[in-house]
Structure 1
């Protein structure tokens, strides 16, 4: 039994943090599903920028959409939804078999809306409706504006993947927003079964403090934050408040580990996957990390619900001068800014390829070779 199967049987879902047309056309994604127990995937602007801007896999589709009068953001979302609905169809059996708990794909709203609650709500509702896909999450960042948007999107019945969460406190704010949305649906007599996941970014913590802490603390901050957050997550779903929600038919908002690829070449390429083994969670990992874990990863232990050793480790980081609260906010801002830059790069690539497609179409219509 390989390590991915062991994680799956532990109760952790393995999702791929990637989507490309080549993955779909080649059958690689389906192979990951069958051989590595992959049961979902996530996407973000950086992933699509690399897939569309740096390959020719989308050029023919872009030419056709330009011919049909599409451009810019609208053209991109058509491409993305085409890919994601194909992937969602592969995972639909898992979605059906688990009653909607697993088998999801994710599409992010424009990162330019990170500080625009009203715009995020409108985009989330519109994108989900246009996709007509039951197992598609709309990704909303856990920024202050995003927290309001999460509640409203859930109340509107839109499944939400909360992204760019870095700390227990940010997770709790997102989880509370989800609960408020569900509570409002219950109060309005609406179906409370609106799914959500909350994505905690892990390895970026260690990159942020690299070279700033003693060697003994190297690459230990992200895991300590994850353990602290996992404790809060399990406590929430052991509470009387959650029992009342469950009795009404609500689904748990699952905790998802993101940014689980090793960024330090001096640690194992499966370091974070092995450290984050925990039931009732999701690990979404880059393709390189997935293949590495399938090849030589090990299930070496299971994360404890009580957050064992997390607070001691975090105290040591505080003694080393690391302000966890301030750094969490900084990482969230940096993450939002990074996605904005990727979005702009993506829009530039779409524009460049659209112009090229238009020129190619004009040439052919004029009878030129």
Structure 2
């Protein structure tokens, strides 16, 4: 049994953190679904920027949409939804078989909205969800303070949300609270509470941030410790009276998702974060190279449990070494949002340039 199958059977869902037209056209995504037990897919502005900038696969679509006079932003969303609609179709059997618990794809709102008025994020999230018309599409909203208000409102509006850019237990719990408030408001309004959601906790960026600043004994241990601590909070929340009440009313529990699980340290095991954060009732979305590495030589050991923890001691060691964990979580969220803004601006420039190029090459399209 390959490691991806073993992890799947242990109760953790494996999603792919990648999207390109070539991935779809080549049949690789179908292979990953059939043979590597991949059951979902995530995307972000950086992934699409690389995919569109580095190939001509999108030129025909861009030319067709540009002929309609769309802005670069709306043009991008149309093109992105072409890819995500195809991927969603491949995952639809999983989605139906699991009654909506799995088989999702994700599209992110403009990261320019991460620290803007929440109403703008909700408006765009609702528009994208309606335009896509897909039963298994999550709209990604960053879990920033402004984003939290948008998450509650979008959930209340019935839009399935993937909360992205979470870095700490506290940020995760705030996102879970925003989601539950949206569900509670739906129940009060007589609406269905069946609005699924996932909460994405970023892992590897923690260790990259403190690289060279802590003793060698703490190398590549901070992200895992934060993950373990958050998993404990996740387990406790699932057993809380508040969640039990919502579940009894027909709601789904927001699922914890491990994001940024590719190993950034070339001296570390390339499957480090996948193996360390194997846990039932969670999701791990991983880059393509990490998925292939784990399928090739990954190992599934003991799963995370609530009973045995080293994370508290490890986090204390980091504090002793001078790491302000709480402050770093805020910094990482801000840097993550800024990074997506940079990719977004690069992507919009690329779309504008390609619109002109392909328009000249395909007049009348």
TM-score band w.r.t. shorter chain: over 0.9
Find out whether 1:333 has 2:334 as its counterpart.
yes
How far apart in 1 are the matches of 2:74 and 2:59?
Answer: 16
How far apart in 1 are the matches of 2:10 and 2:303?
Answer: 9
Find out whether 1:61 has 2:61 as its counterpart.
yes
Match of 2:157 in 1: 156
Match of 1:190 in 2: 191
Where in structure 2 are the equivalents of 1:265-280 lying within 5 Å? 265-280=266-281
Where in structure 2 are the equivalents of 1:205-354 lying within 5 Å? 205-306=206-307, 308-354=309-355
CA contact (8 A) 1:71 1:354 kept: no
How far apart in 2 are the matches of 1:7 and 1:287?
Answer: 16
Unaligned runs of 5+ in 2: none
How far apart in 1 are the matches of 2:296 and 2:44?
Answer: 26
Q: TM-score, normalised by structure 2?
A: 0.98
CA positional deviation for 1:285: 0.1
Structure 2 residue matching 1:268: 3-state secondary structure? coil
Match of 1:140 in 2: 141
How far apart in 1 are the matches of 2:59 and 2:80?
Answer: 14
How far apart in 1 are the matches of 2:10 and 2:112?
Answer: 38
Structure 2 residue matching 1:149: 3-state secondary structure? helix
Match of 2:12 in 1: 12
How far apart in 2 are the matches of 1:306 and 1:284?
Answer: 25
CA contact (8 A) 1:193 1:251 kept: yes
CA positional deviation for 1:307: 5.8
Match of 1:173 in 2: 174
How many residue pairs get matched? 364
Structure 1 residue matching 2:162: 3-state secondary structure? strand
Which shifted more, 93-102 or 105-114?
93-102
Unaligned runs of 5+ in 1: none
CA positional deviation for 1:301: 2.0
Match of 1:39 in 2: 39
CA positional deviation for 1:68: 3.0
After superposition, the C-alpha distances for 1:318-342 in whole angstroms (9 at most, x for unaligned) are 0000011000000000000000000
CA contact (8 A) 1:274 1:301 kept: no
Q: TM-score, normalised by structure 1?
A: 0.97
How far apart in 2 are the matches of 1:256 and 1:164?
Answer: 11
How far apart in 2 are the matches of 1:216 and 1:361?
Answer: 59
CA contact (8 A) 1:154 1:194 kept: yes
After superposition, the C-alpha distances for 1:32-60 in whole angstroms (9 at most, x for unaligned) are 00000000000000000000111111011
Which shifted more, 59-68 or 224-233?
59-68
Match of 2:77 in 1: 77
How far apart in 1 are the matches of 2:227 and 2:311?
Answer: 8
Which shifted more, 351-360 or 168-177?
351-360
Structure 1 residue matching 2:362: 3-state secondary structure? helix
How far apart in 1 are the matches of 2:360 and 2:343?
Answer: 26
CA RMSD of aligned residues (A): 1.0
Structure 2 residue matching 1:174: 3-state secondary structure? helix
